[in-house]
Amino acid sequence: MAAAKKIASILLSRSSSASRSFHLRRGAASGIQRFATAAVVEEEPITPPVQINHTQHLINGKFVDSASGKTFPTFDPRTGEVITHVSQGEVEDVNRAVAAARKAFDEGPWPKMTAYERSRILFRAADLIEKHNDEIAALESWDSGKTYEQSSLVEIPMVIRYMRYYAGWADKIHGLVVPADGPHHVQVLYEPIGVAGQIIPWNFPLVMFAWKVGPALACGNTVIIKTAQQTPLSALYVAKLFHEAGLPDGVLNVVSGYGPTAGAALASHMDVDKLAFTGSTPTGKVVMELAAKSNLKSVILELGGKSPMIVLEDGDVDQAVELAHSALFFNQGQCCCAGSRTFVHERVYDEFVEKSKARALKRVVGDPFRKGVEQGPQIDGDQFNRILHYIKSGIDGGASLVTGGDRLGSKGFYIQPTIFSDVKDDMIIAKEEIFGPVQSIFKFSDLDEVIRRSNASPFGLAAGVFTNNMDNANTLMRALRVGTVWINCYGVFDAALPFGGYKMSGQGREKGIDSLKAYLEVKSVVTTLKNPAWL
């Protein structure tokens, strides 16, 4: 019982600053209508508590229009209406941003500053983000549809924590002196790579910004980051704060625009030394090819997933239901690491399915700016249609629709929390990343079977395990071919914890010490010693 309580506190906590989970407390939501009525999403949208001040690219420390003068719209997922128009970056804008970053690296003060000075600027930037937490959170929610409570209480505080983590590293990166087989003084130096190009998705715009910009700057690199076309607003605001904190011009450049133009220009640029990409697996392959065909820049990839959430038969079923629910439905189901294959032991399967249905029916869907709402709209019409298409494929493929299965309301991109049971491994919904609020529940009989079926995926990003049996937990944590295993918790994203994928979920790691290695070159220096006193 004590263990179960501990699990609940991990799962339901609003996260300590040291070890934040992506999960919020279950919405109290008294007076808010459930998705069965749909009325709540038909109400007039709440006006977000923020003004939009920055819509141009941030290049060389200044906000500038696109060379072409073009702009593109960014939309409110609650209504599908335009929020504002943003400068549309293309090849020429990327060239300008890379030139600024190149100059700031080759001639500018950033890599030449002391590590302590760099660290202080990053700490000041984190302080400014904290000061403006609520405006930034409002921009993030307006542009992406994620709940304001999630942005303001979880994600922006996580961004601040990540920036402080990397600020702390800046003056602790040091080399080695290693023994050699001869009269040589052998040093290993860790140096910044140079100009880093970074491409991020829309599902966690600022968290992805922090995972990339933090380690790159801490190591002394300069950066051009291309935001997702769906969510350009928050990064412009935050990058401005870095400059207010004292970041020299050209060190951090933000270009808004589409993937095949601005993104491809960055990935294939001859003056970019490192490429960091987060997004879908198909686009990951494209950018890797562009990097290889241009200057063979090294690449780090954070890609898609189809992560198993494994519920063994020995635990408290109510706790397991809540954990598996949040593992899938968090952030409208738009998480790379979503627990999108819920494997449940046959002994508790029927009870689990019934209780999961009850939990999904209680999920509070509505305007993300309304207090107590757990689920906002999907990001845009493309994703909305894609998810509805997957739901149809689940029904046509013979899975049992337990609840949901349709849109919610008549405007914007809201989808009913949906559950399928009796899902078979060869169904499309069992194999492909749905990226929406659609839970698929599978039945299994024993440990070997669930290991084999969990690993039978081209993805290997993450997995969850729910059990009180530590022997089984130990077996699973070693057998699962994934980058992260959460045991009796899910979605814990500590700054010090490396995150990344096995197989087609990516290459390399972000966060933790491993992310620093991704932004450092290793140089060996050998000096001949004359008459050494010792070797």
Residues that bind ligand NAD (CB under 6 A): 199-203, 226, 228-229, 258-260, 263-264, 267, 278-280, 283, 286-287, 302-305, 336, 433, 435, 461, 501, 506
Q: 3-class DSSP state for residue 274?
A: strand
CA-to-CA separations, 6 to 19, 23, 443, 468, in angstroms, rounded: 15, 15, 26, 11
Tell me how far apart the alpha carbons of residues 292 and 221 are, in angstroms, rounded to a whole number: 21
In the complex with ligand NAD, the residue whose CB is nearer, 250 or 506, is: 506
Helix spans in 146-298 (H): 148-150, 156-169, 205-218, 233-244, 264-267, 281-293
Q: CB 108 → ligand NAD: shortest distance, Å?
A: 26
- Minimum Å distance from CB 25 to ligand NAD? 23
Least distance to ligand NAD, CB of residue 306, Å: 9
Nearer to ligand NAD, 246 or 260 (CB): 260
Length of the chain as a residue count: 535
Smallest gap, in angstroms, from Cβ of residue 387 to ligand NAD? 12
Q: How far apart are CA 309 and CA 338, in angstroms?
A: 9
Active-site residues, by number, are 302
Distances (CA, A) of 431 to 365, 440, 480: 27, 11, 17
Q: Which residue, 152 or 229, is less far from ligand NAD as judged by CB?
A: 229
For ligand NAD, the closer of residues 135 and 510 by Cβ is 510
Q: Which is nearer to ligand NAD, 286 or 529 (CB)?
A: 286
Output 220 or 491, the one with its CB closest to ligand NAD. 491
Phi and psi at residue 325, in whole multiples of 5°?
A: -65, -50
Q: Which amino acid is at 64?
A: V
Structure tokens given for 90: 């293309």
- Residue closer to ligand NAD by CB (options 105, 277) is 277
Nearest CA to 246 out of 152, 116, 97 is that of 116
Closest CA to 306 of 342, 340, 344, 343: 340
Alpha helices, DSSP H only, in 152-204?
156-169
Please, what sign has the CA dihedral across residues 299, 386, 137, 29? Answer: negative
**Closest distance of CB 233 from ligand NAD, Å:** 14
Strand 298-302 relative to strand 506-507: parallel, antiparallel, unpaired?
Answer: antiparallel
Measured from the CB atom, the residue of 203 and 378 that comes closer to ligand NAD is: 203
Is the CB of residue 234 less than 8 Å from the CB of residue 529? Answer: no
**Cβ at position 521, least distance to ligand NAD in Å:** 24
At residue 501's C-alpha, the angle toward residues 94 and 21, to 5°, is 95
DSSP result, 340-364 = -EEEEETTTHHHHHHHHHHHHHH--
- Nearest distance from C-beta of residue 72 to ligand NAD, angstroms: 11
Distance CA 418, CA 403 (A): 5
Name the 3-class secondary structure at 6.
helix
Q: Using CA atoms, how far apart are residues 468 and 241, in angstroms rounded to an integer?
A: 46
CB of 193 vs ligand NAD, minimal distance in Å: 19
